[in-house]
């Protein structure tokens, strides 16, 4: 027997194992790619929600009466944000305190 016959025999014996190994590798690669895509999409969605919430707070702060005390203006801005972006608030889990802090910051930035 020459070397080529030995290689041919070895390939015939190893072919099923190589096929399984390649299939497992491809499955793992697809899983890794899907996890990366899911993470990217999740981060992108969160960024969109944060932007929507910030815009709602800023708009609410701009609509608050200029003569109103800070506490009342902040509450008005938060109420506007709750009406205009309830999904963003819910999905981000923004608490009332966080919303009020954001509203006060937006009001200060507008003055």
pLDDT tens digits along 78-108? 999 999 999 999 999 999 999 999 999 999 9
- Banded model confidence at residue 1, pLDDT cuts 50, 70, 90: low
Residue 19 and residue 93: Cα distance in Å, rounded? 47
Residues 6 or more apart in contact with residue 85 via CB below 8 angstroms: 52, 53, 55, 56
> How far, in Å, CA of 57 to CA of 99, rounded?
8
Query: Could you read off the pLDDT of 25-82 as tens digits, one per residue?
Result: 999 999 999 999 999 999 999 999 999 999 999 999 999 888 889 999 999 999 999 9
Q: What DSSP designation does 94 have?
A: -
Q: Residue 2 has what pLDDT?
A: 83
Domain range list for the chain: 3-110
Task: Give the pLDDT confidence score for residue 18 in this predicted structure.
Answer: 87
pTM for this model (two decimals): 0.72
């Amino acid at each position: 027997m020459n070397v080529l016959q030995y290689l041919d025999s070895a390939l015939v014996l190893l072919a099923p194992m190589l096929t399984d190994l390649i299939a497992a590798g491809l499955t793992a690669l697809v899983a890794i790619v899907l996890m990366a895509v899911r993470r990217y999409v999740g981060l992108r969605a969160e960024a969109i929600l944060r932007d929507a919430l910030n815009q709602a707070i800023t708009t609410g702060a701009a609509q608050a009466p200029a003569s109103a005390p800070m506490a009342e203006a902040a509450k008005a801005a938060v109420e506007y944000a709750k009406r205009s972006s309830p999904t963003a608030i819910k999905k981000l889990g923004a608490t009332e305190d966080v919303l009020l802090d954001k509203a006060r910051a937006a009001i200060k930035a507008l003055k």
